[in-house]
Structure 1
Amino acid sequence: MFQTIEWTPEGAVRLLDQRRLPAEEVYVECRDVAAVAHAIRTMQIRGAPAIGVAGAMGLALAAQTIRATCFEAFYAELLRQGEVLHRTRPTAVNLAWGIERMQRCAAAHKALPVAEIVQALIREAQQIREEDILGNRAIGAYGRGLIPDGATVLTHCNAGALATAGYGTALGVIRAAHAAGTRLSVWAGETRPFLQGARLTAWELQQDGIAVTLITDNMTGHLMQRGQIDLVIVGADRIARNGDVANKIGTYTLAVLAQAHGLPFYVAAPLSTLDLSLGDGMAIPIEERDPEEVTSWAGVRTAPVGVRAHNPVFDMTPHRYITAIITDRGVVRPPYDTGLAALAGQSVVTSTASLRDSVKSTHTP
């Protein structure tokens, strides 16, 4: 499998440029915070878990370049560089989670010489990446049984290996079911205006030999009405305490349609996507991007010159439309406020070793 993001032996961050897919598989190397911030902002790397890893690795890059001999000066600069990264994408909470975890790591090692703190941060960033991959495999293991044999699954945007450090969340569930022998096929919504479904999800599933058919976003109601969709699985960028979910724009529409047609609607995400500080989803900040992503594609104008466009990148799906949330610690069903908080408070999966155990146990027949 391709590598979405990795730390190189030379001390750089290597990532797959997702803007070039599916035509070209091109990797870029980032050697400082500015390059990582640019990669996140321009969507060379995207997906909530993936940019969480990118944020962590960006701070590891920053640590290598900070010229400070005392912890106080080093930490102050680390906080400043963290703000640079945090401002790139406001909705996905994983980015802030990754940055804050790195800053906590630095604070925990403050008694050490700065050079040793730098090495601790590099190890922590690599650990975050490994935990994400293992966590995604756990999501797949917990969720695979929710896909009946012979099912046709609808997914939206890209919540696969490209959106994570590897394996994927929503696509991780699909991958795990496929690997376990479940017969299934996938409808991939194109996901206007950036076409993550068309460019990325279709490409990923094709690489894995999983049957996939691309559809435009406005075909889903018709397919549900004709009985051609059995369930919906999507990822998430932030989940509020009550189970409200922010995800790629169009997710809310699919959830309402799924409920109207009596179809299960599942959200797959690691608990690092959970924001317990928010009581409900209305408080989740919704990122807006350049209107030219709507009025043009690949540099070609598709709308009249001078026409205005609106480009919110995410929407919020109320918890009442969600059948279950599949996490790296288990499947949560309503009431979400107690279920999610209970999982987040568990200490069962607090290390890479216990994540490995979780994946092994849930893969055992």
Structure 2
Amino acid sequence: MNIDGKAWRTIWLEEGGRSVGVIDQTLLPHRLSTRSLATLDEAAEAIATMVVRGAPLIGVTGAYGLMLALQADPGDASLAAAFEQLNATRPTAINLRWALERVRDRVAALPLVERAEAAAVEAAAIAEDDVAMCAAIGDHGLMLFQQLAAARPSERQGQPLNVLTHCNAGWLATVDWGTALAPIYKAHRAGLPIHVWVDETRPRNQGASLTAFELGREGVPHTVIVDNAGGHLMQHGLVDAVIVGTDRTTRSGDVCNKIGTYLKALAAHDNGVPFYVALPASTIDWSLCDGLAEIPIEARSATEVTHIQGLVAGGSASGEIATVQLPPEGSAGFNPAFDVTPARLVSALITERGVAPATEAGLQRLYGRVANGSEPAPAAEVNRQPHPDQAHQGQG
């Protein structure tokens, strides 16, 4: 995707594959900075502190983290310890365990001398699969948007389609394209007039910082709103559709996403607004049925609620970024990072294989092989050869 006319991805190999480059998302939108991850510990820290975030990107980073661990020590104990360390960094997003298991299973039976290179090949394949899946999600979502635009009354024909998002499910949350934002980018590039209502998404403000950053660099018209404004906009007919991503989706269609998603789904249901969820196959947890009872909800530090980071007013010239405290000293904070939206509130799931109702039968029609718990086939065939160094510019 584009940053000021240059093509980027969120993660790339450096130093002949001895380190991994990433965009430091904790500094966006005010400072575009990259970071090199050269060890297992650095990869785990980047995931835990949300230098990288978004379920698909977490998975890819974890896969490369195993690669780095095996470069240092390819033994069985090292592999097992690295798997557990990385898997413990973020408990809710299923993509992380999925990617770690994929790399572990690929290398486990190999001679020690071959493990690091095989891990590099598999991690690169996971990254390319993610790009292919997200692009396909964008294509399927674009068709839905085109149908919505065509079905509007004659007096609204030609006017922008107003889409509301929550959190950041764009290319910064994946390797490229994104999930929920992929249909928006496809629509914009196809010439379909579109405008995005961007939820600020407290407490970390991934909408106001990351989604707005992405959309602005792509030239997509958008407006940042406070989280509680979405229902008001829907009541007044100013939202044509809501589209969000997901960190884990059960086989029955329950969706776990950034805290506040459930409230948007309730408002959309009450106002007859379509509520879409975009996801790749790697985000489906086929072992779970009841999302509310079975999905672990990550509780993050209360300081994300009690403090906020931003650019100092009038400080754009120096680029000074500061953190300030919001409530009075001594006030407690509670920070569940996700909530669960029941399948009954989801209009459709947009996947790389097509659009399905949020039901077990609907998902099984798309992923027939996984009805018995086996893994789905990849969305696209990818080159399994090791990747050369990829500069972060020019790779989008």
Matched ranges for 1:1-365 at <5 A: 1-8=7-14, 9-66=16-73, 74-107=75-108, 110=109, 112-147=110-145, 148-149=148-149, 150-282=160-292, 283-298=294-309, 299-334=323-358, 336-346=359-369, 349-350=377-378, 352-353=380-381
Offset, 1:328: 1.0
2-side partners of 1:157 and 1:296: how far apart? 18
Q: Deviations over 1:258-285 (max 9, x none)?
A: 0000000000010100001011102100
Are the counterparts in 2 of residues 332 and 339 from structure 1 also a CA contact under 8 Å? yes
Give the Cα separation in 1 of the matches to 2:135 and 2:9: 15
Match of residue 358 from structure 1: none
Structure 2 residues without counterparts, runs of 5 or longer: 1-6, 150-159, 310-322, 370-374, 384-396
TM-score (norm 1): 0.91
SS at match of 2:381: helix
Once the two structures are TM-superposed, the CA of residue 26 in structure 1 deviates from its matched residue by 0.3
Supply the distance in 1 between the matched residues of 2:253 and 2:33 (Cα, whole angstroms): 37
**CA shift digits 1:209-267 (9 cap, x unpaired):** 11010000011111111111110000000001110000000000000000000000000
Scaled by the length of structure 2, the TM-score of the pair is 0.84
Name which structure has the greater RCO, CA cutoff 8 Å, separation 6+: 2
Q: Is contact 2:128–2:382 with CA below 8 Å preserved after alignment?
A: no
Deviations 1:188-224 (A, max 9, x none): 0000010000000001001111101000001111111
Shift of 1:309: 1.1
CA distance in 2, matches of 1:234, 1:266: 6
Flag structure 1 segments of 5+ consecutive residues without an equivalent: 69-73, 356-365
Question: Compared with structure 1, are the counterparts of its residues 82 and 181 closer, same or farther at alpha carbon in structure 2 (3 Å cutoff)?
Answer: same
Q: CA deviation at 1:84?
A: 0.2
Paired residue type of 1:255: A
Misfit runs of 4+, over 4 Å:
346-349
Aligned-partner Cα distance in 2 for 1:348–1:279: 18
Contact kept in structure 2, 1:140 and 1:173, CA below 8 Å: yes
Over the matched positions of the two proteins, sequence identity in percent amounts to: 47
Aligned length: 345
| Contact 1:288 1:311 survives alignment (8 Å) | yes
Cα distance per residue 1:31-61 (max 9 Å; x no partner): 1111011001110000000001011010011
Letter aligned with residue 102 of structure 1: V
Report SS of the residue matched to 1:353.
Answer: coil
Instruction: Give the helix-richer structure, 1 or 2.
Output: 1
What whole-Å deviation, never above 9, does each CA across 1:338-361 have from its counterpart, x for those lacking one? 221343344985364379xxxxxx
- Partner Cα distance (2:105, 2:361) in 1: 27
Is this contact kept in 2: 1:329–1:349, CA < 8 A? no
CA shift for structure 1 position 120? 1.1
In 1, are the aligned partners of 2:281 and 2:376 still within 8 Å (CA)? no
